[in-house]
Amino acid sequence: MMNNDPALMRRIDQWFDVHSDELLADLCDLVEIHSTAGKPQPGMPYGEGPAEALACADSMLSGHGLKTDNFENRVLTADLNDNSAALGIIAHLDVVGAGDGWATDPFELSMSEHGEILYGRGVSDDKGPAVAAMYAMYAARELAPDLPKSCRLILGSAEETGMDDLEQYGRANFYPPSVFSPDADYPVINTEKGHFTPAFSASWEESAALPRIVSFTGGTVPNIVPHLASAVLEGSDLQQVQDVCARISGDTGVTFTASLSQDGLITVTACGTASHASVPDKGKNAQSALLAVLVSLPMAECEGFSKLRALSELVPFGDSSGRSLGIEMSDEISGDLTSCFSVFKYGLTGMAGLIDIRTPLCADGSDIDAAVADRFGAAGITADVTHREPGHHTPADSQIVKTLLGIYEDYTGKPGECLAVGGLTYVHSIPGGVAFGCTMPGYESNIHAANECMPLSDLIMSAKMFTMAIIQMCS
């Protein structure tokens, strides 16, 4: 890796010693804005909150003398100088809702007792990193005023709701040849798996024969391993249900409760462990475990139960590789395919669900489509891919990757390496894009959860690394 200029590193350190309090003050102003997606309004495609966040950032950037441009209140850009841009930095100012369980006001920047940890919605995802990038622009302009190339800061406002902001912006604008987003983890994420979401369904005539499954509901979000699922049974024996639940619990680690109501119906509830669908092995799929319970019970033969048994063979508990669907595969760069049975609903006359599949770079989308459709079709279940996102890869020997890894090593003293992930980052659809920070390896920042946090030292170090990246890439 390239070694950075120690003298320049010292000058960057000195600049942030002077300006860190200003950075925190601007972050405080942005955290106070409830920039969750809202109802579209004229001139505000994502609602008032995201538009207000863009306007606030515009005032900050233009107040520091940077030329800004607001693209339809979807994206705000700021240019370092008037030269052609060699580097782009992309962050977002929208956030998810606060939710419950906070120890502090989620929309007020708070600090731990000794000031080492920042708390607030957006401090790590992604307002903190966005402000770090803003101040890196200010620092680079002062410390290297004669750079022959420019950096363009691109601030979006709909990352949390599908990235329509960048999609619309990209239709009318070109991105710089090298781009990074501080919206993930260090060191550098240069490889992202593809994303396929097959939807399956089947319908049949209601059968009144007992015992029968009246309903079965599981997950509702495609990209999350469902941690809860429940079913209602009619005509079953409670003790027999409890015995099967105990056996399946021992096999899966998922816990079950079964109770009998006054009208003779049995409700079975499964409780597992949630995780992101891109890492299904980190969770315990309550939906798949409950499916295993149901097909192990003596039920009256009918078309619905027959299809449920077939489904249990296609998405069995513990199969996160897609083996049962005939799509297991792997490559050296991006790793293994992962599969997560994430959404499901079953009733007396039909069922429907979704499977979240993350594919390595070697995958052929049409082959996966056909394999999934064939396996489900053989069971009399229709399956179609409703969402497809190809994989993303920026070579490890590219200038942007080598530059960022060198900077990371010099500032942290830790070895830099390229990472491959199953999730999608903010640069997934941008050629030459990588994710760079701001979460350090091993740190839990509670993104999307209560008490979202970021070490102040990590945020300031990130701003320093971004400054060095701008100066190196634009020299």
Note the pLDDT tens digit of each residue in 275-328: 889 999 999 999 999 999 999 999 999 999 999 999 999 999 999 999 999 999
Average pLDDT of span 21-44: 97
pLDDT of residue 381: 97
Average pLDDT of span 357-371: 88
Report whether CATH 3.30.559.10 matches the domain 194-389: no
pLDDT of residue 31: 98
Confidence of residue 3 (pLDDT cuts 50, 70, 90): low
**359 near 391, Cβ under 8 Å?**
yes
50-63 pLDDT tens trace: 999 999 999 999 99
Average pLDDT of span 159-188: 95
- Residues 400-416 as b/e (b if ≥16 CB within 10 A, e otherwise) read bbbbbbbbbbbbbeeeb
- Annotated active-site residue 160? The verdict is no
Q: Which of 52, 79, 94, 336 is catalytic?
A: 94
First to last CA, the chain: 18
DSSP 21-32: HHHHHHHHHHHT
pTM for the full model? 0.84
Residues in the chain: 475
Confidence of residue 449 (pLDDT cuts 50, 70, 90): confident
Domain with CATH 3.30.70.360 in the chain: 194-389
pLDDT of residue 162: 87
Q: Which of 159, 165, 319, 356 is catalytic?
A: 159
Please report the sign of the dihedral spanned by the C-alpha atoms of residue 152, residue 157, residue 161, residue 164.
Answer: negative
68-92 pLDDT tens trace: 999 999 999 999 999 999 999 999 9
What is the chain's alpha carbon radius of gyration, rounded to the nearest angstrom? 25
Residues 106, 53: Cα–Cα separation, whole Å: 16
- 3-state class (DSSP) for residue 341: strand
Average pLDDT of span 386-408: 93
Q: Which stretch of 5-9, 112-116, 408-412 has the lowest confidence by average pLDDT?
A: 112-116
Tell me the sheet residues that pair with 360: none
Average pLDDT of span 94-102: 92
**284 near 252, Cβ under 8 Å?**
yes
Q: Is pLDDT at 247 greater than 70 in this prediction?
A: yes
Residues 61, 151: Cα–Cα separation, whole Å: 14
pLDDT of residue 1: 45
Helix 6-31 to helix 456-473 angle (10° resolution) is 120
- Annotated active-site residue 159? The verdict is yes
Cα angle 254, 255, 257 (rounded to 5 degrees) comes to 145
Closest by Cα among 74, 100, 279, 322 to 185: 279
Residues 61, 415: Cα–Cα separation, whole Å: 34
Domain with CATH 3.40.630.10 in the chain: 6-193+392-473
Residues 290, 296: Cα–Cα separation, whole Å: 10
For the segment(s) 6-193+392-473, the CATH number from 3.30.479.30, 3.20.190.10, 3.40.630.10, 3.40.630.40 is 3.40.630.10
Residues 373, 18: Cα–Cα separation, whole Å: 61
Closest by Cα among 296, 297, 271, 295 to 285: 271
Residue 85: which residues within 8 A CB-CB, separation 6 or more?
A: 79, 149, 150, 151, 152, 176
Confidence of residue 200 (pLDDT cuts 50, 70, 90): very high
Closest by Cα among 448, 358, 397, 431 to 1: 397
Q: Is pLDDT at 431 greater than 50 in this prediction?
A: yes
Phi and psi, residue 197, nearest 5°: -130, 90
Phi and psi, residue 148, nearest 5°: -75, -15
Q: What percent of the chain has pLDDT over 70?
A: 99
Question: Please, what is the average pLDDT of the chain?
Answer: 95
